[in-house]
Amino acid sequence: MLDGKYNKENEKEIQEYWSKNKIYEFKYDENKETYSVDTPPPTVSGSLHMGHIFSYTQAEILVRYKRIRGFNVYYPFGFDDNGLPTERLVEKETGKKAKDYTRSEFAKICHETALKYEEEFQDLWSNLGFSVDWNLKYETNNPLSQRISQRSFIELAKKGKAYQKEEPVLWCINCQTSIAQAELDSKESETTFNYIPFYVDGEIVEVATTRPEFLGGCRALLINPLDKRADKLAGKLAKVPLYEHLVPVILDEGAELEKGSGAVMCCTYGDTVDVEWAKKHNLDYIKVIESNGVISDDIKFIGGLYVTKARKQIIELLEENGLLLKQETITHNVNTHERCGTNVEIIPSKQWYVDVLTDKERYLKAADELNWYPTFMKNRYISWVENLKWDWCISRQRYYGVPFPVWYCKNCEKAHYAADEELPVNPLEKDYVGTCECGSSSFIPEKDVMDTWATSSVTPLINARWKEKDQKDFLIPMTMRTQAHEIIRTWAFYTIVKSLYHTGELPWKDLMISGFVLAKKGEKLSKSKNNSASEPNALIEKYGADAIRYWTAANKLGTDTSFSEDDIKSSNRFLTKLWNASKFILMQLEDYDLSEPEHILDVDKWLMNRFNQTQANFIKAMDKYEVGLARKEIDAFFWNDLCDNYLEIAKERLYQPKKHGEDASKSGKYTLYNILLGVLKIYSIFVPHEAEQIFLSYYKDKIGTLSVSLLELENKEFDKDIIEHGEKLKELVSYTRKYKTEKGLSMKAEIEELTLSVDEKDFDFFNNTRGDIAACLGIIKFVIIKGETFNIFIEGDKNGN
């Protein structure tokens, strides 16, 4: 039996019990439907914060729900331990850049650092009571994941869906690598529109630019065909200020009439629009910026300067030469690299791409074939796909990642791929054995590594052990992907692309999208922003895992929420109430023999039907992934129906069986036995430690089941008429309590006489329950009469009800 107070210190003991008894170990059962979860492998880029706890716990709550609903749950966990995020973590911790190490040395440090953080991550999830089968754990950089990632690449390359091409690419000058469109962020930045004179036939054509450092790479002057100057200037040559080379004046509807002066210079490459115009009008390339963010030595005046210094220098030169007509301060959005916040440049480079533009319609169709929770998140996906402009660049000029299994013929540059039995392979460490079609036997290994999303996008295939000898066909497709909304454009989209290419099927049936936890002023908690007020482990130590889980469960799926420690403090009130209510109930059940009574009292029938109604609403909400709404349903029953009303109404009957009769007492015990068990089943998904401890203290031996998590929650029918009787009973109790409060009376104060008027259909219920009602409310004379309406009359109360 339970004793003492609820103690969060017992959580560790419960976790050890689960581990020892392998409560959450997955065993495939063809007779049970598998519910499989594609859990987001957290990026190994630093410690986790409450934002991670929020989203991962919401998903884990759903997993526990599916388990008690009878599904065979496949719940793996992975760690995203390759790529730029891990590299940046190592650089931060060591204070040295990757380039300061040999490639093998840096990879070794990255691996060791990743293992350290992965152990911390696993401990945190375990401390939160996650029902994970850790035997299913994977890392995105382990041999299996590398093999499947490389196999995916080779298959796409052979299908022509992965290709190599040299063209302008989004480039981070800080991370020294290409990036994909999906990795772009944007920020507002204050800058100046600089109005400068281009000369056409000796006449000035004003051009406004925010990037005058690109004047040396100007290849054309563009004017909208609707511009009043268009006919006069079209086809002529314009002289570029300072550099004085001539460029053609081209008509293009992309030149905005209302922006700047209406005339715009096309340079190689100031932004993505420059890339489009250069392709469209077949303009030659002049290198302005090197990969390290320094202006090329070939550019006069500013060669060798970093971009910001070059801009300042060129503006000073324009002003000195009378070529700065005017300046306007403006605020505009600039593209940045989401990983480091550095402004992104565009530099021609040879990269590997995955074709995502050809099949855009298929990806749009996928949006309607998936179940989105919440539904409005589908619009974010659709908007992303509709606005795709570039194929997916998957190569990175970094060190720690999955290598491309490619060698190039030294003579003709043809790509040669590793055989499947060689995977995983690092071309830098293994020579290609063979002869090219051109006759050469000399090969150059690929040095680039894959984008981290190229690996993360195959997590369903990693879980299914795709094309391994022991492929798990039952995981193709998986049931559900849980993730945050900001990576719909990356993780969700790329996974859909890869799955359709490789299996012809969508990777999952359901998408569960969580919101952010906000620190302040709408700013999301972030490892990179270092704005997490409290570390999760410290909060677990202070309040316990169940308190954090209970807070998490209150929030609506997909919506952002602010975080305050006070929110967790309020969880303790519930945990104490559940413990104390359970302790009281189990005290009444000490001598209960588990037999069903011959007759169940009407008020007991009410509670059981009300619970069945609550359970049905709970199941309905959880089936829609509405964790917050589901918790609200069970909370209302627990606090209002069970604790505030029924336990008080049935208390004397339970305490004094001789007064009320053994059969009446047995009816109450039967009711409490089943109701508490049902309540524990439901609450086990929110507060599993406390629910388990209460279950083990009494029900385990009675039922012969090792864990409350292994019981099944069944949808049961309920009688609405009986529930309506109960609602009126609660109204009677509430009115009488309010009467005593207003009169300044104790709740134990007796009422000389109370008359209750009820209609025909309610009469028997109240008449059969009169003993419990009188005992609960302290009514000496309790009169029940039949009437047309429900009314309460207390002697001395002039108002009535």
pLDDT in tens, 286-338: 999 999 999 999 999 999 999 999 999 999 999 999 999 999 999 888 889 88
pLDDT of 185 reads 86
- pTM value surpassing 0.85: yes
* C-alpha separations of 417 from 157, 199, 409, 411 in Å: 9, 53, 11, 16
Whether pLDDT at 715 is above 90: yes
pLDDT tens-digit readout, 597-611: 999 999 999 999 999
Whether pLDDT at 801 is above 70: no
pLDDT of 253 reads 92
Q: For residue 535, which amino acid is it?
A: E
Confidence of residue 442 (pLDDT cuts 50, 70, 90): very high
* C-alpha separations of 478 from 43, 64, 132 in Å: 21, 17, 16
Query: How many angstroms separate the CA atoms of 659 and 652, rounded?
Result: 9
Give me the phi and psi of 589, to 5 degrees please.
-100, 10
Sequence-separated (6 or more) residues with CB below 8 Å from residue 167: 348, 349, 351
Two tokens, residue 578:
């559940």
Whether pLDDT at 531 is above 50: no
Whether pLDDT at 689 is above 80: yes
Whether pLDDT at 529 is above 80: no
Q: What is the mean pLDDT of residues 713-737?
A: 96
Closest-CA residue to 28 (of 119, 107, 135, 105): 135
* C-alpha separations of 740 from 138, 164, 643, 736, 747 in Å: 62, 82, 19, 6, 7
- 3-state DSSP call for residue 172? strand
Confidence of residue 398 (pLDDT cuts 50, 70, 90): confident
Whether pLDDT at 524 is above 80: no
pLDDT tens-digit readout, 28-80: 999 999 999 999 998 887 778 888 889 999 999 999 999 999 999 999 999 99
- 3-state DSSP call for residue 248? strand
Whether pLDDT at 674 is above 50: yes
Q: What is the mean pLDDT of residues 133-161?
A: 96
pLDDT of 478 reads 98
Sequence-separated (6 or more) residues with CB below 8 Å from residue 361: none
pLDDT tens-digit readout, 245-255: 999 999 999 89
Structural contact between residues 402 and 141, judged by C-beta atoms closer than 8 angstroms = yes
Q: What is the mean pLDDT of residues 391-395?
A: 94
Closest-CA residue to 772 (of 642, 639, 659): 659
Sequence-separated (6 or more) residues with CB below 8 Å from residue 766: 725, 728, 729, 756, 758, 773, 784
pLDDT of 357 reads 96
pLDDT tens-digit readout, 598-655: 999 999 999 999 999 999 999 999 999 999 999 999 999 999 999 999 999 999 999 9
pLDDT of 346 reads 93
More confident residue, 483 or 84: 483
Burial classification of residue 244, based on how many CB atoms lie within 10 Å of its CB (0-12 exposed, 13-18 middle, 19 or more buried): exposed
Give me the phi and psi of 751, to 5 degrees please.
-115, 120
pLDDT of 374 reads 95
Structural contact between residues 791 and 800, judged by C-beta atoms closer than 8 angstroms = yes
Query: How many angstroms separate the CA atoms of 429 and 239, rounded?
Result: 53
Strands annotated E in 530-676: 561-562
Structural contact between residues 673 and 589, judged by C-beta atoms closer than 8 angstroms = yes
Confidence of residue 88 (pLDDT cuts 50, 70, 90): confident
pLDDT of 477 reads 97
Strands annotated E in 254-367: 263-267, 326-337, 344-354
Percent of the chain with pLDDT over 90: 80
pLDDT tens-digit readout, 129-146: 999 999 999 999 999 999
Length of the chain: 801
Mean pLDDT (the chain, rounded): 93
Burial classification of residue 354, based on how many CB atoms lie within 10 Å of its CB (0-12 exposed, 13-18 middle, 19 or more buried): buried
Beta bridge partners of 786: 758
Q: What is the mean pLDDT of residues 785-789?
A: 93
